[in-house]
Amino acid sequence: MASLRELSQKEVLFTGGHRLCAGCPAPIVVKQALLAAPRAPIIVQPTCCLEISSAVFPYTAWKTPYYHNAFENAAAVASGIEAAVKALKKRGKLDAGKDYYIICIGGDGGTYDIGFQALSGMLERGHRVLYICYDNGAYMNTGIQRSGATPYGAWTTTSHVGEAQKGKQQHRKDLAWIAAAHGAYVANASLHNWRDFMRKVEKALNYEGSSFINIQAPCPRGWRFPENMTVEIARLGTETCFYPLFEVEDRGQKWVINYTPKNKLPITEYLKPQGRFAHFFQKDNEYLIEEFQAEVDRRWEHLQRLAKMSAE
């Protein structure tokens, strides 16, 4: 991987002037991913916060080839581009010795839910495409509605907090684990640990097959925290093991934990700064914290067992 000095001298392929919110994690994720690429990749993107804020015709913040698609078909379009590149190389219309990198970047709404069928097909067929999901845990673009990535108990505009229910009733879908079942290269990342994320992007782009990276992307607007805390919230997500850093290789047989906290923090450290969990700390709602912590512990222990088995 390039040194920090070398990275600072590379051309920035995602420019200023976009309409993303102050404190938004998406441009941080994009800049890190593009810096990790050997050259300008082909970008494919479903409708999401990032798309509507960076590529509204006739303006664009992207200095790369760029394709905007519907919510549900970005992975299918990326698969088609990869197949077209192969065909054009075979016909001599593209340089057969040159790598053409394809990165699909979507939010959790278009990845966990609406676009999941196309993503599953892409991973199963093994197209050489990197799909990055910037996971902000809800449909932020359309009004903070709950998604399959929304955590248990979180307030959204479609998982209200009141007498009948206390936020979302289900635990979040673990999409990285589902992607791993397809035999692709899979990784969990977090924007606060840029070196880990960029290493995984570089690895994924050189992988002979499909790859999927899920990256924690805290949203100040939807999660209800000050805009200067984005990176800190991401760090707390990893230090509490709510969003662990790991990768999966060898068709799901090799699980590696990339970071283990020296002192695992209680989940309350992650929940307290976020207004979407404010009701957790109200009278008689302690059971919400207990349930949340129990699920975090269960998933972390399961991940540790898989990593231990892989190392044996």
The percent of residues in the chain predicted with pLDDT above 70, rounded, is: 100
Distances from the Cα of 140 to the Cαs of 149, 216, 218, 270, in angstroms?
A: 12, 14, 11, 20
Closest by CA to 248, choosing from 172, 312, 310, is: 310
Closest by CA to 165, choosing from 156, 173, 174, is: 156
**pLDDT tens-place string over residues 235-271:** 999 999 999 999 999 999 999 999 999 999 999 999 9
Q: What type of residue is 293?
A: Q
What residues contact residue 171 under an 8 Å CB cut-off, 6+ apart? 151, 152, 295
Distance between CA atoms of 271 and 236, rounded to whole angstroms?
9
Judge whether 7 lies within some domain: no
Distance between CA atoms of 113 and 166, rounded to whole angstroms?
22
* 3-class secondary-structure state, position 132: strand
Judge whether 224 lies within some domain: yes
Judge whether 39 lies within some domain: yes
Distance between CA atoms of 173 and 159, rounded to whole angstroms?
16
Instruction: Return the pLDDT at 3.
Output: 86
Domain count, the chain: 1
Instruction: Return the pLDDT at 17.
Output: 86
**pLDDT tens-place string over residues 172-201:** 999 999 999 999 999 999 999 999 999 999
* Burial tier of 78 (Cβ tally within 10 Å: 0-12, 13-18, 19+): buried
Number of Cβ within 10 Å of residue 157's Cβ equals 13
Instruction: Return the pLDDT at 286.
Output: 97
- Classify each residue of 25-59 as buried b or exposed e, where b means 16 or more C-beta atoms within 10 Å of its C-beta: bbbbbbbbbbbbbeeebbbbbbbbbbbebbbeeee
Q: Are 95 and 34 in contact (CB under 8 A)?
A: no
- Helix (H) / strand (E) element for 68: namely strand 66-69
Assigned token pair, 256: 């590696």
Instruction: Return the pLDDT at 4.
Output: 87
Record the pTM.
0.97
**pLDDT beneath 70, residues of the chain:** none
Number of Cβ within 10 Å of residue 237's Cβ equals 20
Strands 66-69 and 102-107: unpaired
Judge whether 287 lies within some domain: no
Residue 50 is part of which domain span?
A: 21-143+173-265
Judge whether 131 lies within some domain: yes
Judge whether 11 lies within some domain: no
Judge whether 282 lies within some domain: no
- Find out whether the peptide bond into 58 is cis, omega within 30 degrees of 0: yes
Judge whether 213 lies within some domain: yes
* 3-class secondary-structure state, position 143: coil
Average pLDDT, the chain: 97
| CATH number of the domain that residue 217 is part of | 3.40.50.970
